[in-house]
Amino acid sequence: AALTEARRRELAPEAVFPCVLKMVRDAVFNKRDPIIIGIDVVEGQLRLNTPVCVVRTNATTQEREITVLGRVVSMEVNKKPVTCVKRGDTNAGVAIRIDQPNHDHLKTYGRHFDETDLIYSRITRASIDVLKTNFRDELTKEIVGVVAKLKRVLGVE
């Protein structure tokens, strides 16, 4: 059990739990670098260090465009830090801070995304495999369903 726990800690950055987030209306505290916004968890669970993105359809080409916003580096519920928020955990919403690693292409609220966009955890084939092999006991039916939905939304094979 200790070995499994150590392996989980080691693989935690690659393990991206699926979530769908909705912005709380008028809860934009910082528009860019870092982005600080209020959200509600619509599906799944949001954990610290989750990479997040928005998916929009290009108006001219009608193609899906994925805009990576960055990683969630802190979360607060009622001014108290938390590490994991599940759907239905809070009524008041969650304040999240998104740090952007690439400073030459900073994403800005209002330009790259707005409160009408859903925010998704940025899952990949590799992150799904890490979840399946090392976090199987935490994969509920709901989480598996959200993974399947995000695979379609994000075009993950």
Say what the pLDDT of residue 135 is: 85
Residue entry with tokens 């759907």:
87
Please list the pLDDT of the chain residue by residue as tens digits (157 residues). 666 677 767 767 678 999 999 999 899 999 988 999 999 999 999 999 999 999 998 888 888 899 999 999 999 998 999 999 998 887 668 999 999 887 668 899 999 999 999 999 999 999 999 898 888 888 999 999 999 999 999 999 8
Say what the pLDDT of residue 85 is: 93
Cis bond before residue 34 (omega within 30° of 0): yes
Say what the pLDDT of residue 10 is: 74
Which amino acid makes up residue 146?
Answer: V
Evaluate whether 93 touches 38 at the Cβ level (below 8 Å). yes
79-103: pLDDT as tens digits? 999 999 998 887 668 999 999 887 6
